[in-house]
């Protein structure tokens, strides 16, 4: 089975191009509460999309699914409504899948699942050290459809230098094994185009298959639509990029254990080199 590919955009033209090219989920990213403080000074995606973006994309996203990342669990304030109110708005606007970020406890997840109440698919984004520590309690909650490991915030939580260190120290493997035991579909991190990325995408794709992962985010390294603005160029990137990912998937799906082991050795070597460069450039 091929990876479920996800791409963040609120642009109707880009969404239509991505869908046509074979991207499985168009992702509206409404998370903003606490994000600026967590990722201050970092070159990360801070989208702050809105319910209006869901409504705008819903008529266009027909063959792909419409995924919405809401804010972390929160109560109502003068500035924003509660998690329950946000979920109601998102479902009414037409979301197919709702992703919960930055949760820490079983109680957080129970609150999320109760509010969704089986009306759309639920996707947990494991990206806090507390969520990893409490994983067994969390996964005992009924109604979790899928899980994704958020390497960016999780590597920050562990004070690492590079998010793919989590592939090298066994953290991702351990979490994937827990998801698999519970029969929950899972994915992790993001990928650029084949042949691109600080850690080339082909090695990450092979590790997805080695670990039984079923989903990956298409990162800005795949296509940064804030930089590449010509629709024809965006279309070319997506069509060629998705095609090459699918071809690479066919190749790595046939790997032997020895080939997967060799691929992980390459990942560890490249990640070590990247970390050393980051430390030297401080």
- 86 with 61: CB under 8 angstroms? no
Q: What is the pTM of this model?
A: 0.94
Q: Which two tokens stand for residue 258?
A: 């020895």
What total of structural domains would you count in the chain? 1
- 238 with 15: CB under 8 angstroms? no
Q: How many residues does the chain have?
A: 282
pLDDT, position 46:
56
- Strand pairing class (25-29; 4-8): parallel
- Strand pairing class (215-218; 146-149): unpaired
For 4, 151, 191, 245, the CA distances from 11, given in Å and listed in that order, are: 20, 25, 20, 23
CATH number of the domain within which 246 lies: 3.20.20.60
- DSSP tag of 98: E
pLDDT, position 44:
55
- DSSP tag of 124: E
Q: Which two tokens stand for residue 250?
A: 């066919």
pLDDT, position 226:
84
Give the integer Cα–Cα distance in Å for 213 and 197.
Answer: 20
pLDDT, position 37:
66
For 92, 158, 167, 196, the CA distances from 171, given in Å and listed in that order, are: 37, 11, 6, 24
pLDDT, position 55:
98
Chain centroid to Cα 122, Å, comes to 13
Strands (E), the chain: 4-8, 25-29, 65-69, 97-100, 121-126, 146-149, 185-188, 190-191, 215-218
Cα dihedral across residues 43, 33, 176, 223: positive or negative: negative
pLDDT, position 222:
97
Range of the domain at 71: 4-280
Nearest to 208 by CA among 187, 230, 238, 237: 187
Mean pLDDT per segment of 10 residues, for the chain of length 282 residues?
95 98 98 72 67 98 98 95 98 98 98 98 98 98 98 97 97 98 97 95 98 97 92 97 98 98 98 96 84
Give the integer Cα–Cα distance in Å for 83 and 68.
Answer: 13
């Amino acid at each position: 089975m091929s990876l479920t590919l996800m791409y963040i955009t609120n642009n109707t033209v880009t969404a239509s191009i991505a869908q046509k090219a074979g991207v499985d989920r168009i992702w509206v990213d409404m998370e903003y509460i606490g994000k600026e403080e967590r990722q201050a000074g970092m070159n990360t995606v801070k989208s702050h999309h809105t319910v209006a973006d869901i409504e705008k994309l819903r008529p266009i996203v027909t063959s792909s699914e419409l995924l919405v990342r809401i804010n972390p669990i929160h109560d109502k304030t003068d500035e924003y409504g509660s998690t329950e109110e946000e979920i109601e708005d998102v479902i009414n606007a037409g979301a197919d899948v709702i992703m919960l970020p930055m949760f820490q406890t079983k109680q957080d997840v129970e609150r999320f699942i109760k509010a969704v109440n089986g009306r759309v698919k639920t996707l947990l984004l494991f990206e806090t050290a507390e969520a990893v520590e409490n994983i067994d309690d969390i996964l005992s909650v009924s109604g979790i459809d899928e899980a994704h490991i958020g390497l960016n915030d999780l590597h920050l939580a562990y004070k690492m230098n590079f998010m793919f260190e989590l592939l090298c120290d066994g953290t991702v493997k351990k979490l994937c094994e827990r998801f698999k035991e519970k029969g929950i579909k899972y994915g992790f991190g993001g990928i650029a185009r084949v042949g691109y990325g600080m850690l080339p995408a082909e090695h990450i794709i092979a590790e997805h298959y080695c670990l039984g992962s079923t989903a990956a985010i298409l990162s800005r390294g795949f296509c940064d639509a804030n930089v590449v603005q010509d629709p024809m160029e965006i279309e070319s990137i997506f069509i060629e990029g998705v095609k090459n990912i699918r071809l690479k998937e066919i190749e790595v799906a046939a790997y032997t254990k020895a080939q997967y082991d060799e691929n992980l050795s390459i990942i560890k070597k490249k990640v070590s080199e990247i970390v050393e460069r980051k430390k030297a450039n401080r």
